[in-house]
Structure 1
Amino acid sequence: MGDSITRAFDACGPLADCPQASWSTGTDPGVDSLAGRLLDRPARDSRNLAESGATVSDLPGQMSRAAAREPGLVTVLIGSNDACRPSVGTMTPVAAFRADFEQALETLWEESPESQVYVASIPDLTRLWEVGRDEADARRVWEFGICPSMLRAPRSTVEAAVARREQVSSRAEAYNSALREVCTKDRRCRWDGGAVHDYRFTADALSHWDWFHPSRDGQGELAEMAYARITRR
């Protein structure tokens, strides 16, 4: 479940999903997805129900579709699009974010009470800005509206720009706190411990089509973090 990150948007080419390279359900051996590590037949026995552009408000609907299949494990990576808005004023309120996430889990467990859930934290959006701000190609593509609340005017050091980035970072951290608090209340849900947020993305781990979404290498890193957390005793 989730958004364009789990759809591996821009991982294989410009402006397109590449689900075979998804960290969660992909079949690309270079990524070595979570499903590929856990299942004998990942292409047959897993489904990618994430949607590019999704926000947390879309998660209950995704969970409803997943619940109908009574999955053994559901992965969730959601929230970047709630912070990546045209302005800080249009970011999803934290209370609404929490409520939608709670509803999503309730929706899943009402229909499929035995399903386990892995919840990944939202990547550090400030880190993505740090990696790309001095890259001319990144600055050019960011002008097309990629995460404008964080990435607009990436080299600006005026007080308003600095404050804007700090607000976005703080909101994403608040979302992560909500994900953690809700997830850790139930033994069926496993939180990543902030691993994805703490991961220091490099240029190689980012798609050079947009300098925002994970590349194949980045997708592989997400898969490794998920596998390590899920199999940890």
Structure 2
Amino acid sequence: MTETAIDRLGEILWGAIALQSNAFQLIDTLPLSSRLAFLIVLLAGLSQAIGQGIILFMNRVKPSRFILSLFLAAILYAFGYIFWGLSTWLVCYVFFEQNASVFSVARVLGLAYAPELFSILIALPYLGVPISIILSIWTFLGCLTGMNAVLEIGMWPAFWSAVLGWVVVQILQRTIGRPVKALGQWLANYVAGVELIADLKEIEKVLELGIPTKAMPPNDPPNK
């Protein structure tokens, strides 16, 4: 029977968290690796959504809306991963003339999100922002480790590919992607039934002062 990435889930996951190169090499070669990488991203998004879900509790959101909000947040989170993966692969191809498979980049980046599984900890008062920063740096280091191990392009090309890929995503979000981002935020608010807060500092302020977020009209369109 052929061994799959799911069969070695524990080894791959903890190897990625420990920034071990062999974990990224495994996820690029074993069957079902792409599914596992995407599952990790979805679970990371779900973990982050649960961490920020305290806002939903404060507004007494119905259980059905709460569950839908969590799943929607995970899906929107996955879109960020997809765009970062595509832009990173494009930078590798254009600037460093690497003919790496876009799926290899996607698998590496997906596994690099393993530390983000602890994103639920951002709900901790006063520690949420530092924890979020640490997890982001941890994920970035995982991306560098994986790209260097799988694509064999060297640490600096891997660094600049990941950085420039992230910059491309930020530029797109602030230009042609603004309507899409606004639609995603509106959809999240609509499903939750309240105006959600994504900024961790704002969340801490709400928790400290006990300020409820605004109820959102059912058909309120996204801001342009």
Higher strand share: 1
Q: Which has the larger radius of gyration?
A: 2
Higher helix share: 2
Normalised TM-score (structure 2): 0.32
Normalised TM-score (structure 1): 0.31
